[in-house]
Amino acid sequence: MINTRCATREDLDQLAAIHAAALPNDLLPRLGLRFLRKYFFPTVFNSASAYITVGESDERIAGFCIFARDNTALSRSVFGPRLRIGRYYLSAMIRKPLLFVDLCAYALGYRIDLYDASSGEIEGVPEIFIIATAPGQQSRGVGRRIVEQGLRELGTERDRCIVRTSSQQAERFYKKCGFEKIGIEKRGRTAFSLLRLKNNAEPNDQLHPDHNASRKDSTS
């Protein structure tokens, strides 16, 4: 049985551990577990623009999903204080020199190609930033449940919700949750699919959507 709720600060250590284990190749986990525990998740909890939904099994968190009510505001909260986050960048690059290449790609900006001018705004809107399922908890419906919970929290704003992913598996998951592809974002050598929730979309109950994914490694 998977129960869903909004996360609290007491969940921070579990959230950081799941993030690091489920998405080891994404940018944020590559900055280190200390970064996740001491900077990233505390910043998300302090932000009025974000909330985290979790799925629990046997009183342990099985997965989480970070939602932004305003994606631009959350990005500024996380990546705006350059002096604070810079020391984590430097520390991580000493341990993992190849990380420098990825950081340069993100720093150089990105290009967005929307399929239709009527696709609407993609900045200053709700967005799924990260979804991650704990190892061993896949194929139990955790992903679907925490996405549904998060969309309910958005209320009338849910139809403006977007997500970005570079994973084809995750893209299929979001489409089955009611999202449709509206364009592509290119950052460095990586292309991200941009998807928006269809109006009045209802997630597919037959889905097994425990695909770990993040939006452009949660950077802007």
- Categorize the per-residue pLDDT at 216 as very low, low, confident or very high, splitting at 50, 70 and 90: very low
CATH of domain 3-218: 3.40.630.30
The pLDDT-based confidence of 119 (bands split at 50, 70, 90) is low
Instruction: Give this prediction's pTM.
Output: 0.84
Torsion-angle region of 185 (φ positive above 0: left; ψ -120 to 50: alpha; else: beta): beta
Mean pLDDT of the 61-67 span: 97
pLDDT at 118: 61
Cα–Cα distance between 77 and 48 in angstroms, integer? Answer: 10
| Per-residue pLDDT at 217 exceeds 50 | no
Q: What is the pLDDT of residues 164-185, one digit of tens each?
A: 999 999 999 999 999 999 999 9
The model's pLDDT over 3-44, given as tens digits with 9 standing for 90+, comes to: 999 999 999 999 999 999 999 988 899 889 999 999 999 999
Find, among 80, 17, 85, 83, the residue nearest to 47 by Cα: 80
CA-to-CA distance for 152 and 208, rounded, in angstroms? 19
- Mean pLDDT over 159-163 rounds to 95
**Closest by Cα among 48, 47, 51, 49 to 15:** 51
Phi, psi of 182, rounded to the nearest 5 degrees: -120, -5
Instruction: Please give the average per-residue pLDDT across 197-206, as a whole number.
Output: 63
Q: What token pair was written down for 99?
A: 């990380």
What is the dihedral angle through the alpha carbons of 218, 93, 100, 125, rounded to the nearest 10 degrees? 10
Residues 70-87 have a mean pLDDT of 82
pLDDT at residue number 116:
79
Query: What is the pLDDT at residue 104?
Result: 66
- Assess whether pLDDT exceeds 80 at residue 189: no
Using pLDDT thresholds of 50, 70 and 90, give the confidence band for residue 50: very high
Contact partners, residue 130, CB within 8 Å, separation at least 6:
19, 23, 28, 64, 65, 66, 213, 214, 215, 218
- Amino acid 218: pLDDT: 37
Q: Which of 109, 99, 62 has the alpha carbon at shortest distance from 216?
A: 109
What mean pLDDT, rounded, does the chain reach?
84
User: Given the DSSP bridges, would you call strands 111-114 and 162-165 parallel, antiparallel or unpaired?
Assistant: unpaired
Predicted local distance difference test score (pLDDT) of residue 140: 81
C-beta atoms surrounding 169 within 10 Å: 11
Q: What is the pLDDT of residues 205-215, one digit of tens each?
A: 444 444 455 55
